[in-house]
Amino acid sequence: MSTVHDFTINQSAAMIETMQAHWQECDPDFKAALPYLMEFMAEIAREYPPTLWPQLLDMNYRAVKMVLQGFTELSKATDGQRLSSLLH
């Protein structure tokens, strides 16, 4: 007997598989990012509902990419800005 929760888990897992296949094909840094993403994915699966898993993994992927690529340009562009300014 399948439940809606099981269906959602399967949908999210399929989306994550598609995301990973795309990253592996297109991102030369993916192999370096994978250990971090595995750690994030374990936490995401424990703490959040399956409907959020792909979105949260993508956010973490982008953050890891920024770290791997360095923050030089980002820090220049955001110097002096406050995160709280995005909440208004």
Give yes or no for a contact between 53 and 43, defined as CB atoms under 8 angstroms apart: no
Residue with tokens 């990012």: 33
In the prediction, which pLDDT does 15 show?
96
In the prediction, which pLDDT does 80 show?
65
pLDDT over threshold 90, residue 56: yes
pTM of the model: 0.75
pLDDT over threshold 70, residue 30: yes
User: For residue 56, what are the CA distances in angstroms to 25, 72, 74?
Assistant: 21, 25, 21
